[in-house]
């Protein structure tokens, strides 16, 4: 083991993997393009206040942030999520005044959370996410889910499931929260420590407790549905109708509440049903937020978005056996025998200039070893430069598939390759 290694919860993405990442990233950007989303790039760190908002009960904000301050300047924090920075930027640059609403933005980049690492959960990880800001419509909610869903489909993922719920508007949620507290108050002592904490901080989260899920009070707990006002109910129904129209299968889970405190109305989670995804099965998740833009000092505007865990996406693609980032063979491998100086490099350079992916032999070694490189790199052509031929300014060009070899002037290598290609067809 090397004495230096990546810090806990971080990882190097090596060339064989970075090719996979690149392919997935390109696919995502392409889907965004078709949906009319443009990229926004915000800083990796922000003023701590951007993330740490009043009344926020989530662990992410309270216990998991990398926060630092240098020279007694204002406290800064490595972004633990993407939405806050995007909304801050939206307001700072008054996007609501300079572009047509809704603003359709996407981001892709690293996030940081101080947590105990696990498969699919890292301290530095990558998220792709979108934010649709400025128009509150069930159609937009459905479209946002559709965008994420179509990325997974385009990738070839099949074992996934869309789960959604509604938290209703402020009035409905306040109403529900009160009902829940009233319901659980009598039996609070029987519930686990986490539940007691949730009771105080975020009663909605009581519902997805795994310890007490069979407690009688859970079964008889009031349903969100019954606390929704007409408007919230109608809104959610429209979202479902739109999803039906798009033929996106979904499940409604009335216990889905999500961790971030800013969500209102529609919340959703897309999870993997693949056995290998373990406890970190959520691929992307998000929801609508009504108060965020205003919180950051903008107009009263609603938004909706989601974040997708890139590492999790890669893990699932791998688990489902999707081939990603395949490297194709190169076109030309130039070998050199004896003292041939810069000639192989010159030939490779000329080939590259003519559109052939080319490499050349660098260290002196036998033909056998060089042909092994040809095989490994799956080169279509081998160019052999030897001292003897070099005296006549000549070299050999070999078409690997047909084994056909011709000799030609060093300046005619490109023409010779093109000729052999035509013959090969």
Partner RNA sequence: GCGGUCGUGGUGAAGUUGGUUAACACACUAGAUUGUGGCUCUAGCAUUCGCGAGUUCGAGUCUCGUCGAUCGCCCCA
Per-residue contact string for residues 181-200; x = within reach of RNA by CB under 7 A: -------------x---x--
In the region spanning residues 230 to 269, those forming contacts with RNA, defined by CB under 7 A, are: 258-260, 269
Please report, as residue ranges, which positions from 291 to 310 form the binding site for RNA (by CB under 7 A). 307-309
CB of 209 to RNA, least distance (A): 6
- How many helices (H) and strands (E) are present in the chain, helices listed first? 16, 16
386: contact with RNA by CB under 7 A: yes
* 60 binds RNA, rule: CB under 7 A: yes
Shortest CB 205 distance to RNA, Å:
6
CB of residue 289 to RNA, shortest distance in Å:
12
58 in contact with RNA (CB under 7 A): yes
The answer to whether residue 329 forms part of the interface with RNA (CB under 7 A) is no
Q: Taking each helix axis as running N to C, give the angle between helix 413-424 and helix 343-353, from 0 to 180 degrees, rounded to the nearest 10.
A: 60
CB of 72 to RNA, least distance (A): 25
Instruction: Quote the distance between the C-alpha of residue 390 and its chain's center.
Output: 52
Q: What is the DSSP string of 338-366?
A: SS-TTHHHHHHHHHHHTT--EEE--S---
Q: Which residue shows structure tokens 């108060």?
A: 291
Give me the least distance between CB of 303 and RNA, in Å please: 14
Among 282, 322, 324, 421, binds RNA (CB under 7 A): 282
Strands 103-112 and 38-39: parallel
Between 60 and 221, name the residue whose CB sits nearer to RNA: 60
**36: alpha, beta or left, given left = phi > 0 and alpha = psi -120 to 50?**
left
DSSP string, 150-174: HHHHHHT--SEEEEEEE---HHHHH
Q: Interacting stretch for RNA, rule CB under 7 A, among 44-52, 97-105, 135-143, 201-209?
A: 201-209
Indicate whether 375 belongs to the interface with RNA (CB under 7 A): yes
Task: Quote the crossing angle between the two packed helices 310-319 and 15-35, to the nearest 10°.
Answer: 110
Residues sharing a CB contact under 8 Å with residue 97, sequence separation 6 or more, in sequence order: none
Closest among 328, 382, 327 to 359, alpha carbons compared:
382
Residue from the set 337, 351, 408, 414 that interacts with RNA by CB under 7 A: 337
Q: Which of residues 80-119 bind RNA (CB under 7 A)?
A: 81, 113, 115-119
Does position 278 interact with RNA (CB under 7 A)? The reply is: yes
Secondary structure percentages of the chain, helix, strand, coil, to 5? 40, 20, 35
CB of 257 to RNA, least distance (A): 8
Burial class (CB in 10 A: 0-12, 13-18, 19+), 296: middle
The residue from 372, 392, 406, 418 that contacts RNA (CB under 7 A) is: 372
Tell me how far, at minimum, the Cβ of 256 lies from RNA, in Å: 10
Residue from 102, 120, 203, 344 touching RNA (CB under 7 A): that is 120
Cα-to-chain-centroid distance, residue 320: 17
The binder of RNA chosen from 93, 249, 405, 423 (CB under 7 A)? 405
Cβ(135)–Cβ(25) under 8 Å?
no
Contacting RNA (CB under 7 A), which of 66, 396, 410, 419? 396
User: What is the rounded distance in angstroms from the CA atom of residue 11 to the CA atom of residue 16?
Assistant: 14
Instruction: Say whether residue 404 binds RNA (CB under 7 A).
Output: no
Question: Which chain residues interact with RNA by CB under 7 A?
Answer: 1, 5-10, 58-60, 64, 81, 113, 115-122, 125, 127, 194, 198, 205, 208-211, 258-260, 269, 278-280, 282-285, 307-309, 311-312, 337-338, 365-369, 371-372, 374-376, 382, 384, 386-389, 396, 398, 400, 403, 405
């Amino acid at each position: 083991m090397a004495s230096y290694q990546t810090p806990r919860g971080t990882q190097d993405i090596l060339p064989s993997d970075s090719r996979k990442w690149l392919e997935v990233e390109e696919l995502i950007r392409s889907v965004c393009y078709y949906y009319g989303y443009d990229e926004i790039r915000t800083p990796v760190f922000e003023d701590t206040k951007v993330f740490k908002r009043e009344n926020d009960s989530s662990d992410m904000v309270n216990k998991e942030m990398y926060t630092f301050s240098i020279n007694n300047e204002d406290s800064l924090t490595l972004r633990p999520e993407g939405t806050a920075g995007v909304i801050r930027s939206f307001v700072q640059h008054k996007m609501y005044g300079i572009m047509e609403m809704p603003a359709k933005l996407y981001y892709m980049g690293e996030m940081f959370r101080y947590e105990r690492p696990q498969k699919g959960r890292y301290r530095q990880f990558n998220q792709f996410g979108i934010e649709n800001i400025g128009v509150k419509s069930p159609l937009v909610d459905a479209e946002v889910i559709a965008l994420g869903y179509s990325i997974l489909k385009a990738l070839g993922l099949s074992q996934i499931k869309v789960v959604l719920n509604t938290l209703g508007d402020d009035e409905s949620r306040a109403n529900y929260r009160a009902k829940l507290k009233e319901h659980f108050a009598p039996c609070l002592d029987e519930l686990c420590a986490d539940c007691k904490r949730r009771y105080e901080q975020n009663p909605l989260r009581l519902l997805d407790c795994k310890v007490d899920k069979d407690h009688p009070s859970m079964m008889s707990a009031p349903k969100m549905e019954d606390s929704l006002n007409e408007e919230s109910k109608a809104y959610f129904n429209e979202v479902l109708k739109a999803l039906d129209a798009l033929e996106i299968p979904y499940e409604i889970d009335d216990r889905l509440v999500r961790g971030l405190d800013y969500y209102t109305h529609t919340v959703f989670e897309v999870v993997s049903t693949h056995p290998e995804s373990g406890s970190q099965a959520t691929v992307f998740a998000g929801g609508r937020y009504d108060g965020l833009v205003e919180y950051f000092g903008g107009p009263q505007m609603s938004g909706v978005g989601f974040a997708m865990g890139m590492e999790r996406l890669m893990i699932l693609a791998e688990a489902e056996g999707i081939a990603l980032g395949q490297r194709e063979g190169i076109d030309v491998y130039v070998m050199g025998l004896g003292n041939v100086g810069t000639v192989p490099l010159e030939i490779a350079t000329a080939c590259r200039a003519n559109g052939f992916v080319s490499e050349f032999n660098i260290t002196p070694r036998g033909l056998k070893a060089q042909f092994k490189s040809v095989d490994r790199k799956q080169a279509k052509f081998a160019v052999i430069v030897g001292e003897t031929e070099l005296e006549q300014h000549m070299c050999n060009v070999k078409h690997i598939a047909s084994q056909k070899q011709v000799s030609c002037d060093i300046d005619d290598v490109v023409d010779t390759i093109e000729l052999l290609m035509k013959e090969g067809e």
